[in-house]
Amino acid sequence: MNLTVSPLTLTLKTTFRVAHGASDQRGNVLVRLEHGGFTGYGEAAAVPYYGDTQATLMDWLNALPALGEDPDALESILKNLPPGPAAAHAAVDMALHDLWGKRLGQPLYRLFGLSPTCLPQTSFTISINHPEAMAAAARQSRYPILKVKLGPEDPESALAAIRAVTNARLRVDANAGWTPQQALELIPRLAGYDLEFIEQPLPPGNAQAYRWLSEELRKRGVKVKLFADESVKTSTDVAHYAGAVDGVVIKLMKTGGLREALRAIHTARAHGMEIMLSCMVESTLGVTAAAHLAPLCDYLDLDGPLLIANDPFTGIIYNGATLILPDNPGLGVRFLNEHLSYRDNRTVTN
Ligand code: MG
């Protein structure tokens, strides 16, 4: 198998601001894996929060030893990858799955035994801004489910402004921005705005703090669910947070790809936890890969391509908040402009 690596620089339509940073552009990485006349594609998202850059991801991928000549041996190829950034692992895993589906002539969801008609609707993200600007963004979006990013500065005003202009289902993401005491004081008030759940109220690395918060909220009769995102990367983390939160947020860039994402999903189910499938700032390539697991999940937060101005791919289709999985073999992702397809003319004709 021949693996090549190229930069995939994404420009955001508007500045993306969450509790731990802001960005206008993201330096992602494209992986291309060739074998037997087929090409598999994968994407690594450089997430500043995890310390990855386009350069560090490309360096790691370029230094990979040969992956062997049996592309269907996904488990052993992935198990033998050297330790490295989860996002880079995800790109290799994604390209292997794409290649697998193309070689077998089947879309990935079918190889996983899933129905493409059982997908939850996706949310659309409202990033941190002044309350009036967040309310304007919520009104303009016209999506039935909004995920509202909130920081430590007066989060209730932003939520109140949004709730005043929309009847959409609302989820809140605090991105680890609150202390346990702040969270205990804030959440009972925020729950009054009819929320589906609150994502990552507390910093990661302390499941005990989540247990304490869940227990205190229960004692006070506050019904809102808590989800863990930054706290939970792999299936092992999911097991660690069982009983501490109601649900987990699964992303390929945290699990290191589809295979570990599947394990994390099954681990969550084994512990009676709910699952939201989400993404980083990723193009249609990475998000379509994740979407093949969407029929296994309760909630979707797969709006990455909607936030990007220069997405080079076509794959998953958005009919409002409803996602339509492509039925081409593998991930079903193609370059929008074949002339820009890095001279690949096999995946666009199958
Ligand atoms: Mg989150």
Last residue of a domain, one of 105, 140, 158: 105
Give the Å distance between the CA of 200 and the centre of ligand 1: 6
Nearest to 281 by CA among 82, 51, 10: 10
Residues 95 and 210 in one domain: no
218 assigned to some structural domain:
yes
Predicted local distance difference test score (pLDDT) of residue 343: 40
Domain boundary among 105, 139, 156: 105
Q: How far apart are CA 239 and CA 235, in angstroms?
A: 6
Q: What is the pLDDT of residue 348?
A: 32
112 lies in a domain? no
Does 348 map to a domain?
no
Query: If you measure from the C-alpha of residue 102 to the centroid of ligand 1, how many angstroms do you get, rounded to a whole number?
Result: 32
Tell how far the Cα of 229 is from the centroid of ligand 1, in angstroms: 5
144 in the same domain as 285: yes
Domain assignment present for residue 176? The answer is yes
Q: 230 CA distance to ligand 1 centroid (A)?
A: 7
Please tell me the distance between residue 312's alpha carbon and the centre of ligand 1 in angstroms: 25
CATH at 208: 3.20.20.120
Is the same domain home to 45 and 134? no
Q: Are residues 281 and 215 in the same domain?
A: yes
Q: Is residue 73 part of a domain?
A: yes
257 in the same domain as 183 = yes
User: Are residues 40 and 144 both part of a single domain?
Assistant: no
pLDDT at 347 (0 to 100): 35
What is the Å distance from ligand 1's center to 227 Cα? 9
Ordered DSSP codes for 140-185? HH--SEEEEE--SS-HHHHHHHHHTT--SEEEEE-TT---HHHHHH
pLDDT of residue 349: 29
Domain assignment present for residue 347? The answer is no
Mean pLDDT for back-to-back runs of 10 residues, the chain (350 residues): 97 82 90 97 94 97 96 96 98 98 98 95 94 96 94 93 97 96 97 97 96 98 97 98 98 98 98 98 97 98 93 96 97 81 36
Ligand 1 center–CA 125 separation, angstroms: 10
Residue 341 domain flag: no
Could you tell me if 42 and 167 lie in one domain?
no
**Last residue within a domain, chosen from 73, 105, 137:** 105
The helix, strand and coil proportions of the chain, stated in percent and rounded to the nearest 5, come to 35, 25, 35
For the chain, state the CA radius of gyration: 20
Residue 265: name the closest of 243, 283, 247, 246 by CA: 247
Q: Separation of 245 CA from ligand 1 center, angstroms? A: 14
Q: Are residues 25 and 146 in the same domain?
A: no
304 CA → ligand 1 middle, Å? 13
Give yes or no for a contact between 96 and 28, defined as CB atoms under 8 angstroms apart.
no
- CB atoms < 10 A from the CB of 37, how many? 9
- How many angstroms does the Cα of residue 294 sit away from the middle of ligand 1? 17
In angstroms, what is the span from residue 219 Cα to ligand 1's centroid? 26
**pTM exceeding the 0.85 threshold for the entire prediction:** yes
Please indicate, yes or no, whether residues 141 and 21 belong to a single structural domain of this protein.
no
Residue numbers of the domain that contains 330: 124-334
Q: Are residues 59 and 184 in the same domain?
A: no
Name the β-bridge partners of 31.
Answer: 5, 42
Angle in degrees, CA 231, 63, 3, rounded to 5 = 95
Instruction: Kindly state whether residue 280 falls inside one of the protein's structural domains.
Output: yes
- Structural domains of the chain, count: 2
Kindly give the distance from the C-alpha atom of residue 301 to the centroid of ligand 1, in angstroms, as a whole number.
Answer: 9
| Distance of CA 198 from the midpoint of ligand 1 (Å) | 9
CATH number of the domain that residue 51 is part of: 3.30.390.10
- How far is the centre of ligand 1, averaged over its atoms, from the C-alpha of 231 (Å)? 10
Among residues 258, 277, 323, 297, the alpha carbon closest in space to that of 43 is found at 258
Same structural domain, 130 and 90:
no
Cα(117) to centroid(ligand 1), Å: 26
Residues 6+ apart with CB under 8 A from 252: 90, 93, 94, 258, 261, 279, 286, 289, 290
Residue 159 shares a structural domain with residue 261: yes
Give the DSSP H/E element, type plus range, for residue 13: strand 2-18
H or E stretch including 82? none
